Structure 1
Amino acid sequence: MSVSSHKIIAFTFLLYIHRVQAQYFILNFSDEDFHNGFDNNSTNEDSNYEKFGQTEPRSDQDLDPGSWRPILEQLDDSVVHPALTPYYSALKKMVSAASEGNFMLMEEAVNEVNASASAGDPPARSVMGFVYGMGMTREANGTKSFQQHQLAAEGGNMQSKMALAFRYVQLDMHDKAAKLYAEVAGTALSSFLISKDFSMVVPLRIHRGAEEDKDVLRRFRGEDGEDFKILEYQAQIGHPSAMYRTGLFYYFSLRGIRHDHAKAMYWFSEAAEKRELRSMEILGEIYALGTGVEKNYTKAFRCLTLAAEGGLYSAYTGLGYLYLKGYGVDKNYTKARECFEKVSDREDPSGMYYLGMLYLKGIGVKRDVKQATKYFLVASNAGLPKGMYQIAKMLHAGAELKKNPNMLKLAVALYKSVSERGPWSSLSRWALEAYMKGDVGKAFILYSRMSELGYEVAQSNAAWILDKYGKRSMCMGVSGFCTDKERKERAHALWWRASKQGNDYAALLVGDAYYYGRGKERDFVRAAEAYMYAKSQLNAQAMFNLGYMHEYGQGLPFDLNLAKSYYNQALENEPVSKFPIMLALVRLWVRRKYVDVSIMVTLLLASLITVLHLFNKRSQRREVTVDSIGADVAQPLVESAAFPN
């Protein structure tokens, strides 16, 4: 795919922001919006320039001081800095207490963490920020939580920087959020060791609506999973493609598989012997970076050349990088550019990104920020973190000069998306592993930690565990296991955070909480606001609920025409729920035409819907079955309770 170099009048582009669903945002900006901070005459050297392509491999402990990995993967004590031994001892107790449901052990663990925090340990301060935010063995205190995270962030703790940045976003303080997310995103990029970024752990939603998502969980059962057993068997009997894929599973800890570098290298090497081109490419990148092996640029160049000559065009990215840096071959900017162009012609985002860097830095070509931006946009739209990061930097610089809040918000969203790919995202894998082993308490505390860092999926998962498992969620409050009130309030707070990040189901539940007074004082106006937000995400249940509230004047003006409009929208978006919606429309028609008999008809239809509800318990897979407000159609006429869930 070529990108023309003619003068740009204006950019119209799609940016893929990783949210609840794959949503695209179409924005119009002039080219000046991107380039005020990146004009062709300024040097504006990026601190990551020497890290132009890939960075030197760094451990999680270097990138994420105080990482939870040593205790969750039960690593040898030698990987832990001696000064952090008390912290890790306390953290281990904390996770064990959550797993066992042992409140006394949790109190002991938190006291030990607090002692380390009082001594000035940044990771311990970060955990205490989490404790105060949760209200676990301590009274929930937002101010103390913020202070602890601030002290931890000043000490270099990346997880606290993420937590603070997310709070700033919630407070609409995007200027402060951008600075923190930019730093965290830069660190996250250092953890991407391979051009394809297989190492990214994408958090998985363990539920679909109110029910467990068994289809997703089935595919992530690690080495015990039937799919992986079949794949590994195919590798053992000599299928090159299966060998490559098995190597990926071990190398990048995919689908719950434990990282095993030796097994990964074995399968990649076996596949390469059988001329499996993708294995040659990844071996070349591993040797070039020295990830788990001694660097060997000669081997890297040979593997990448064989893969490229065999027809795997993506291997030209690695070759271009070697020519660019002069690793294992004479430095040659022309050949580097030619390699990147070959990849970009095949619409490969990595090739686009590297071409963008050549034009941004003026390496082997005349410096042209406009041209660089076009390449970065293509890479960003494809979801490549490095491309997203460069666009975020350009928007950030332009927003500061032009005082444009919309550009700043978009920059923050891109920074956040990249930040969430860092090594701390592996908390999701450990949480999922715990959940699939039946350790709900451990899964809940890990998802809760991630929710504080701003991960929407973790917020949704933690809230769902509270709702689904109740007391069995091992939720711990101030003086013991969470009371019903504490649990409902915590679930509401988690759903609320998720709803603000675009989760329509969460917004629906927030609306239900306000409508019925579940964990919150009953408030029809705020319920309507939440339903309106869910409706903007095309949630048909919310549309139905808004129609019902207009029909009976609850939190919204009494308006039968608007009620009909919302019912029709619900029908249009969820035709599978035609029957209950049609009942509501018939009832509405009767009310408008025959006022005298409307009460009797309404009660009759309410009875029919009750029968439907009992025989068709919904799985809440985004269907409208009038379970929430809509099920209780007779509520304004008789003092009936809400239908049971």
Structure 2
Amino acid sequence: MIRKERKERKKKLVWEHFTIEDKSVDKHPPVKCSYCLKEFKRGVPERMQAHLDYKCSNAPYNVKSQFGQQNTTSITGNFNDHTREKEQQSLEILLTEALSLAEISFSFVDNPLIIRFFKRLQTSFKLPNREKMEEIKMQMNNNTQSSLLKQTRIEITTGFYKEAEKGHINSIHALGECYYYYRETEEDDVIAFELYKEAAEKGHIDSIHDLGKCYYYGRGTDKNEVKAFELYKEATKKGHIDSIYNLGECYYYGRGTDKNEVKAFELYKEAAEKGHRDSIHSLGVCYQNGIGTEKDEIKAFELYKDAADKDNINSINNLGYCYQNGIGIEKDEIKAFELYKKAADKNNINSINNLGYCYQNGIGTEKDENKAFILYKKAVERGQINSNTKLGYCYQYGIGTEKNEVQAFKSYKEAADKGNIESMYKLGECYLHGIGTEINLSKSHEYYNKAGRIT
């Protein structure tokens, strides 16, 4: 009797989402889930599909069976829409924080390939556009999403804590990041410092850099710029791009080492060539002012434009300054105003000040002294020293506000005490003529001297 050759049965689609561990086993080979890596000694399609439907939290919605999708909907019941909306917001916050910490431009999410990737990865998640992410970032900075943001951060921290307990070096560092960036108390800084230290001692390069950052700013430990410099230098030798930039900053300002503008320029250039956006900006500053290199305003403009395209807010401001003053490009006051406004809307204090100056003098826009005064006041509240001088000027001459010489004197003094030369001169003027204070010729002479303008 001739036996018919058995046709090979076509495997169900569920097999596409599992890895076969032993291909020598024909009927029910051992398999591993591609999403959560759970292993099954016997690959049974019905059990595998049930795993994707109900057990695997990492499985994309579109790999679930029709029943599994319906069941997911029925389980969530009346609050399904609310749950999805909450999950969407939580993921948006998480993505915004991740891109911010990695210094990746929000334009990342407008890339067509990225949009396709996220659609394939999780069909139920609607990828926010650049404008939405900028809005989320601003809300996060203003803490207007505090409840959901806090819950999301707790979930993130808990996940890293579990892995850090197992000694996973990347999780130890990531847990340190949580305590550093989600800081609520000074104790959080200490914990972050200890976690960075633990991972750094095991050779974790990001932790070596971040430990340097703690010493540099005095967070979680005493401020020690020499130690910070040494740690940045150690991480730089291993090619750590943020450390290359920060080492450049140390040389630029003479922190933890002797000031060396040539070395600063070289380090900024090295990191800029690797795409580091803050270094691209700093390199532009060097070329604009001839710091550590020959002055080249055209190169400065090009670098500011490059960094601005990568969402470096300081470069957006400096690009505006270039257009306002015709530095490396033809003068264009309207373009300057637009750039200052763009950066000011992102809370750049220098741009808030510059926007006020535009309104005060009608540069690239209609003159509006009241708006100018409001912007100077806003910039002062955020610590912009030059705005103190301009605010004092507004109070002294009644520009955009009622004339108030006492308040003018206070504004000048506040800026002068922080080293602003123009305010030192104005303070000398106040003491000389009794503007907002009593006449004091000795004090007047002192402040004129400090300003380098001896009467």
Structure with the greater relative contact order (CA < 8 A, sep ≥ 6): 1 or 2?
1
Give yes or no for TM over 0.5: no
Bigger radius of gyration, 1 or 2? Answer: 2
TM-score normalised by L of structure 1: 0.30
TM-score normalised by L of structure 2: 0.42
